[in-house]
Chain A
Amino acid sequence: MSNDKVITANNLTKKFGDFTAVDHISFDVHKGEIFGFLGANGAGKTTAMRMLCGLSLPTSGGATVAGFDVYKENEKIKKSIGYMSQKFSLYEDLTVKENMEFYGGIYHMTDRFIKEKTAFILEHLHLQKEANALVRSLPLGWKQKLAFSVAIFHEPGIVFLDEPTGGVDPVTRREFWNMIYEAADRGTTIFVTTHYMDEAEYCNRVSIMVDGRIEALDTPSKLKQTYNAATMDEVFLMLARKAVRAAD
């Protein structure tokens, strides 16, 4: 494997019975890259991502994450990645601090590391006052930013974000993306799925999935050039209209 490819997928396929959710997809993601994984609902984004995270076994094809094989080195992958799911993933009945202590704990972090990191995040997000507030009481935007901080709490090399900004206002989304850029600048590879085409413009490279296959994969500017479109939105619509599979 080339030293700067942190994710490789090679004809990765997932079938549920007769239904092929992910159909022979191949791509590479480089270190420190923000890789946008786009597709309409039901195109197979989440399934593909789950295979890379070790939540789901591929039917055929291969993939490596952080240099580890998704079939055999599942446990090693888990230690090298962070994950933020579509559903909100913090415990609402725990305080901000307790959530961080919990995630630090299950990732084998030392007490000292957890303490320092917690202080750093609270300061960074200007949440010092809310440290002992229940997560339930925070506004959604703050929760999402906090969830992202928790997903990269253990400083993983790669972080998978599954539609992280669903239901968040544009200002908060912008702030959220600033956090993503900061993480990428520190060398973290970001693998993100989204529906928002303005967010697609923020990515270094995007792939667009249609009916389980990758229809296009390039930088946003090249894609716009290829499809002779002004925005990513137009590119996406052009490709997504080809879909025959109904959205779920």
Chain B
Amino acid sequence: MKQFFAFVKKEFFHIWRDKRTMFILLGMPVVQIVIFGFALTNEVKNANIAILDNSKDAATASLTAQLDASRYFALEKNIVTYKQIEEEFRKGKIKLAIVFPQHFGEDLQHFNKAQVQLIADAADPNTATQLTNYATSIIIDYQNRITNDRKLPYTINTEMRMLYNPQLKGAFNFVPGVMAMVLLLVCTMMTAITIVKEKEMGTMEIMLVSPMRPQLVVLAKAVPYLLLSTINITSILLLSVFALEVPINGSIALLGFESILFTLVSLSLGLLISSGAASQQTAMFISLVALFLPTIMLSGFMFPVENMPLPLRIISNIVPAKWFYSIVKSVMIKGLGISGVWKETLILAGMMTFFLTMAIKKFKIRLA
């Protein structure tokens, strides 16, 4: 045990002395959460719109006011000719143009029917779809209010409820994603690098000649990063709850347990990579290419796995982050208990056992 502590202490010195790396490791999750939370967002807020009002009556005025008042839109300018619309789009000043035809209000009152045209900049298709959806729902809302007292012969009212995330906040999606990414980066890449570093420096030889058991070397290497990850998990969760207002609906203990399980999976992977890599660059390269990219692409964090072609869907199953991502979403956002995530938990536990066994087996007791 004393051997083990001596080794763990040494590992802490390594981390502590390399202040720059330490700050990166501890600061990265904070920066990522802040960037994802406040800067990078796929929600549309205050998109500039132009309105071409050919009718200029009470109905159009009221609709315009409502569009402008919503947090999705900001009225950039009122325009008078159809030609101007394209000009504004070309200048990149507006994202959406709304055209009210002549007699909009009258048509609405006398024929119970009126038309409005939405023109969106589909150079960015996602934003265009979102904007037209928002605008449509504001218009429907208006229509519902004025038809409230009248009975229409046939109406189907669709009532939507956005479960678990009624405000459709992006943070609900990326907090679990960032957790997976940060844990992978800290645990996998850093453990892989630190072990390979000892090989490069020649200190690993000294370790192998010493009576210290190789399994103990491997485990002692992992301990400091496990601790570092616990700090990171805590800071990510605190930031999400207090700064981004993402709730933790499920049990915090379960979330903590699952995070530590995923940390252990990442650590074992790092150890496995280190036993195969000969230089620090190789270790870093393998960690980045073989883990980081699949984590971003195939975990469901950036792109929904369900929409991928079958081969990719199959491959995505071996990406540990996919399972962790799903667990965090279930526990944190949906508030599920262990009964809801036992399958994913078992898969992660299985992966950890597999990687760790492989790593310890491959870790060479003798050099050749």
Contacts and interface: CB of A to CB of B under 8 A. Distances in A.
Contact of A55 (B7, B10, B203, B208): B208
A87 B203 CA distance: 8
A56 interface: yes
B2 A105 contact: yes
B209 interface: yes
B211 A79 contact: yes
A60 B137 CA distance: 83
A21 B344 CA distance: 51
Nearest to A162: B205
Given A56-B366, A108-B3, A91 B211 contact: no
A106 B212 contact: yes
A78 interface: yes
Interface residues of B, number: 25
B162 interface: no
Interface stretch (A35-43, A94-102, A120-128): A94-102
A225 interface: no
A242 to B, nearest CB: 27
A78 B203 CA distance: 15
A50 B364 CA distance: 14
Interface in A152-207: none
The size class of the interface chain A forms with chain B is 20 to 34
A60 to B, nearest CB: 15
Interface of B: 2-3, 5-7, 9-10, 13-14, 17-18, 201-203, 205-212, 366-368
A105 B3 contact: yes
Nearest to A102: B10
Contacts of B17: 93-94, 134
Given A105-B5, A106-B3, A107-B211, 13 more contacts: A56-B368, A81-B209, A83-B209, A85-B206, A87-B202, A87-B205, A89-B202, A91-B201, A93-B13, A93-B17, A98-B13, A102-B6, A106-B6
Given A56-B368, A78-B210, A105 B7 contact: yes
